[in-house]
Amino acid sequence: MAKKVLIVGGVAGGASAAARLRRLDEEAEIVLFERGAHISFANCGLPYYIGEKIQDRSKLLVQTPESMKARFNLDVRTHSEVTKVDVKEKTVTVNSKTRGVYQESYDDLILSPGAKPLKPPIPGMESERIFTLRNMADTDRIKSQVDRENTRSAIVIGGGYIGVEMAENLRHRGLDVTLVEAAPHILAPFDAEMAAFAEKELQDNGVRLLLGDGVQSFAEKNGGIAIVLQSGREIGADMVILAIGVAPDTGFLQDSEIKLGARGHILVDESMQTSCEGVYAVGDAVEVTDYVSGAPTAIPLAGPANKQGRIAADRICGLPSSYKGTQGTAIIQIFSLTGASTGANERTLARLAVPYRSVYVHPSSHATYYPGAKPIALKLLFDNEGKILGAQAFGAEGVDKRIDVIATVLRLKGTVHDLAELELTYAPPFSSAKDPVNMAGYLAQNVLRGLTEAAAPKELELYDPERHILLDVRTVAEYDQGHIEGARHIPVDDLRSRIGELDPEKEIWAYCAVGMRGYIASRILKQRGFRVKNVTGGYRSYSMWKFVPGDR
């Protein structure tokens, strides 16, 4: 007898599960419910359609109900919201635009309800000038507002990926844009000194940043909308994009026996099965395991959702697939800059009390003697045994492949020694003989082997002239253009002949532009009996640590 599988929700997880199920079982009865009109659309592309980088709306529709029916013989029911799941009777209750309210039975059930934008109970939230972005209907409403001649300004609330992408795309449309973020920095997966690269890029492209300040209230005023911030400051615009995060859309499961986590996420095991036999869940609504720390987490990304949908389908068909956790690998474009990360950041490691070390390198995207090389800022986090815990990078080009390589080594439980040993492609237009990934590995090895002691830029807050010497080893021209206050200047090429100027009783903190000359200086001094640290990432990383947007 043919198996009957119901799928609640399409897009990444549900649609992937449906297609995989059909490829594995030609006889199964597969019904996919979607409460909206579209079962599979490129939700990551929505901001770019609003910004008109993507001109053709139809390109966002990955699959239509008709195409899924034709290729995979699915029973696709749009405008059909599942409102209840009865795991004992193995039925779901459906509220359909065309069929009304009815029940549908199942042998196996896959839940892919996704996540919905957070809308906290802030006064004035009901204004029609406040928009959220989740689906095609939201996209059409936002674009219609942006297209109006009298829409000249926008305020984006929230500095996550969607908020930053919307800020960029609204600027591309010529709007005056302000981005408000309650936290001290945008882009939470990145540590502060790395997020500063994104903040500077936004500011340089005309986005006004208000950080460390949340929203107190909204009110329609003078044909627009006014916002009072927690600081008491009032700002206004023609429209607001609310992008402060998402919550799992699992309200319809509250009365079921399916177990939910503290924040409403569906709890699943490695097979993506819920607490109820024959019921699986995938995508943004599930709680999974953090691959690095082993702690429970929820990361709403399309890549994991697709993999989870495939695994759920495999399990239903008897294949031994399992999901080992997510490492949160993600990337974002911000005007001419690219930012990417994988694994844990410092805040997460500190919160979980995981010991870690960090290093920074600032190599070029390819050989510097070949035209067009662009700088990359790369941060690597690792433990005392060399196990990779995370990485973050920003740059104009070459960032994606470096983080992808590190993400792969991390997934395979590799170490910084593996990064040093990787044999990666090299030709002058593409890389250097020492790829940035190799360079990060080399520096981490030097730290672990005691060849250098790295000081993170934030440690300079502890600088005490009574106990330390802050030593700038760059050239005279570089020092004159800007240096850390209190630094003594001895160029690295003069260090051996001027070493007598340094007090051997004090610990020396050496720095250069990006860290390499600081390392050379530290090796010279260490072998002459000095206690010395090298400020990893040099003046460039320190400058980003101290960066403050102009309108804060």
Active site positions, annotated: 44
- CA atoms of 169 and 175, how far apart (whole Å): 9
Cβ distance 192 to 214 under 8 Å? no
Closest CA to 389 of 439, 443, 430, 444: 444
φ and ψ at residue 73, rounded to 5 degrees? 50, 55
Beta bridge partners of residue 270, listed in sequence order = none
Query: Which stretches of 51-130 are DSSP H helices?
Result: 65-72
Burial of 77 (0-12, 13-18, 19+ CB in 10 A): buried
Q: What is the 3-class SS of 210-236, one letter each residue? A: EECCCEEEEEEECCEEEEEECCCCEEE
**Encoded amino acid at 427, one letter:** A
Please give, one letter per residue, the 3-state secondary structure of 476-488: HHHHHHCCCCCCE
Q: Give the containing element (helix H, strand E) for 102.
A: strand 100-105
Closest CA to 194 of 420, 405, 447, 457: 457
What is the spatial order of strands in the sheet that 208-211 belongs to?
A: 130-131, 239-242, 153-157, 176-181, 208-211
Sorted by sequence, the CB contacts under 8 Å of residue 438 that are 6+ apart come out as: 419, 420, 422, 424
Helix (H, G, I), strand (E, B) or coil at 315: helix
